[in-house]
Amino acid sequence: MPFECGLCFGAIKLGSRKHKEKKALILDAVPFQYLKTMSDINGVDIEIHENNPNKVIANVRRFLNSHSGLGRPLCGEAEVQKAYQAFQADLPRLLAIVKITADELASLDKWRDFAYIVDEWVKEKGSAIAC
C-alpha cells in the first residue's frame, strides 16, 4: 500500500493537469495503523473499515458517488451489500468451477484468479445486479 499511495500522491502533486485532478481513497482496518508505514500522510483522511465488508462498501460507495461523473447517484449501500451477499453465496460454486479452494483464493498472489471469478459472476448475473 505505501508504494501505490506514493505513486498516486506523486502524480497528484507533480503530474499533468489530468493527474492533479485525481482523488484517492485510502482504507485501513485499524485507526492510525498506516502511520507505521506511511508517516508522511498526515492531513489525508483515512477511512477505517474494521475488516467489516459493510463498512468497506459504505466507504467506497461514498467516495465513488462523490467523485463520479455520473449525473445520477450510484446505488445505495444496501443494494451493493445485497449484491455482495449474493456473490458470497455463489462463491463456493464459482471456486469449484475453477478448482481453487477458498484458502487458496485468500492468498494475495491469487488476485488475478479473484478478478476472473468476479468478472464471470458479473457476466452471469448481468442486469440482475445493475443499479
Give whichever of 22-26, 75-79, 106-110 has the largest mean pLDDT: 75-79
Cβ distance 94 to 100 under 8 Å?
Answer: no
Q: Which of 2-11, 15-24, 62-71 has the lowest mean pLDDT?
A: 2-11
117, with CB counted inside 10 A (0-12, 13-18, 19+), is buried
34: DSSP letter: G
When the pLDDT of each residue in the chain is averaged and rounded to a whole number, the result is: 80
**According to DSSP H, which parts of 15-52 are helical?**
17-20
The Cα 123–Cα 36 span in angstroms is 40
Joined together, the cell numbers standing for residue 28 give 485501513
In this prediction, residue 119 carries a pLDDT of 93
Bridge pairing between strands 47-48 and 27-28: parallel
Confidence (pTM): 0.69
The Cα 3–Cα 87 span in angstroms is 30
